[in-house]
């Protein structure tokens, strides 16, 4: 009987692997002999897409290229550089024809022009049978740096920043 208490977790794992394949240690293989392949990450992207479908966002945006780009603009950094090679978002939202960052920024104009229609479609999908009677509202405020902000006003500052205008945002 041997004690393993003085061994590291990696050493214990190696011993366990060797014991599992003690009849034929060549079956245990070697990392040097293995080919490690990394595939595109799809889990998080797929969950977000499924939620967008359930909420009616996918239908509201439409199936054309602008709608697909709009679905992706929520995650512009996903499309950039190394991230574009890590996540499978282009496959999930069917943008395999190619796009670049400029396409995504131009899509903001399309979103702005279609915002009311998109919001109406999503609202009607969620509340087609019964309109809500309760709306929740909250406000938050933040102080502003600089002096030339037309939205900034003087008032009680919870951040204890003296001499700073603040802005109140309703949600």
Q: Where exactly are the structural domains of the chain?
A: 43-127, 136-171
Quick: pLDDT tens for 52-109: 888 888 899 988 888 888 877 655 444 554 455 455 666 666 666 667 778 878 888 9
Please count the other Cβ atoms lying within 10 Å of the Cβ belonging to residue 75: 16
- Reported as type and span, the H/E element at residue 55 is helix 43-55
Tokens of 20: 């599992």
d(CA 34, CA 41): 21
Q: pLDDT confidence of 14, banded at 50, 70, 90?
A: confident
Please count the other Cβ atoms lying within 10 Å of the Cβ belonging to residue 95: 17
- Report pTM: 0.48
């Amino acid at each position: 009987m041997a004690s393993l208490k003085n061994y590291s977790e990696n050493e214990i794992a190696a011993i366990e692997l060797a014991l599992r394949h003690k009849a034929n240690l060549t079956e245990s293989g070697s990392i040097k002999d293995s080919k490690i392949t990394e595939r595109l990450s799809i889990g998080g992207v797929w969950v977000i897409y499924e939620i967008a479908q359930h909420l009616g966002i996918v239908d509201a945006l439409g199936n054309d290229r602008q709608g697909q780009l709009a679905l992706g603009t929520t995650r512009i950094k996903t499309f950039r550089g190394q991230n574009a090679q890590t996540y499978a978002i282009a496959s999930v939202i069917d943008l395999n024809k190619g796009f670049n960052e400029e396409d995504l920024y131009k899509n903001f104009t399309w979103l702005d022009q279609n915002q009311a229609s998109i919001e109406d479609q999503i609202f009607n999908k969620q509340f087609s049978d019964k309109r809500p009677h309760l709306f929740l509202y909250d406000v938050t405020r933040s102080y502003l740096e600089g002096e030339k902000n037309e939205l900034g006003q003087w008032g009680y500052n919870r951040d204890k920043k003296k001499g700073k205008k603040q802005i109140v945002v309703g949600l």
